[in-house]
Structure 1
């Protein structure tokens, strides 16, 4: 087999090219494997987060023109997602003038707004009709959250 006369390496140029090609393919496969592992990890994390988010949620029934709904949003709404209660039971807003959500089919509708319904896995756990003000809302919400079957200490 003839050697390239300018090659300092004892392997022929064609074999070197083949080795470089194989190395490139192996590196690409390694990158692909890491990407697939990362994608799999992301999918598992997303599944766990989605499952956790569905486990418990606080439904706030509201409607246009509801002064107490506006007051709740001003006094509690901004802070709620940042609280321990907000992480345990993320809030979801439902306008009672709109069609009732399909996933709340087993939850009794309400005409009074605001109404807060604690739901876990599609089952109503507790309900608070009206907004009693910030001083009373948090303790009442705490009582509602204590009724969750898997209620960790707060």
Structure 2
């Protein structure tokens, strides 16, 4: 009896693990998805100007960065408003859906300003209210 139950449980666990491997990556609640491609000069500029310090910023705490090759956008797990055509394109995602995007990269000042504007579109975090 134990062997039969163990075998059924093992098969079920293996099936769940295999299904998880086949499904596209599910986007977390809020994130910044960077669509890029090899040889993109503007992607390299962003990496140099912003990418090296992005992970240490408050923006990265609210919008962790995930990189996707532009050729793999269909399997990104993000519901896009329209296809990505240019790199880099930065998509602010909330619960798997596009909130807004920044197409291209010119300089760090404009990137941070545009990112802040998109982040402001996200629902504010729920704060515990003071009860009297």
Tell me the TM-score normalised to structure 1 length.
0.59
1:63, 1:96 within 8 Å by CA — same for their partners in 2?
A: yes
Instruction: Tell me how far 1:82 sits from its aligned partner.
Output: 0.6
Spell out structure 1 runs of 4+ moving beyond 3 A.
none
Name which one, 1 or 2, has greater alpha-carbon Rg.
1
1:119, 1:126 within 8 Å by CA — same for their partners in 2?
A: yes
Equivalent residue of 2:93, what SS?
strand
Q: Does 1:103 align with 2:110?
A: no
Q: Does 1:88 align with 2:72?
A: no
C-alpha spacing 1:57/1:67, structure 2 compared with 1 (3 Å): same
Equivalent residue of 2:106, what SS?
coil
Instruction: Tell me how far 1:102 sits from its aligned partner.
Output: 5.0
What runs of 5+ residues in structure 1 fail to find an aligned partner? 1-52
C-alpha spacing 1:59/1:131, structure 2 compared with 1 (3 Å): same
What is the root-mean-square deviation of aligned Cα atoms in Å?
1.8
1:118, 1:126 within 8 Å by CA — same for their partners in 2?
A: yes
State the structure with bigger RCO (CA 8 A, min sep 6), 1 or 2.
2
Q: Does 1:146 align with 2:129?
A: no
2:30, 2:63 within 8 Å by CA — same for their partners in 1?
A: yes
Structure number with higher helix proportion: 1
1:145, 1:151 within 8 Å by CA — same for their partners in 2?
A: no
Equivalent residue of 2:44, what SS?
helix
Tell me the TM-score normalised to structure 2 length.
0.69
In 2, Cα distance between equivalents of 1:112 and 1:66 = 10
**Equivalence for 2:95:** 121
Number of matched residues? 99
Alignment of 1:3-152 (within 5 A): 54-98=28-72, 100-101=74-75, 103-104=77-78, 106-107=79-80, 108-150=82-124
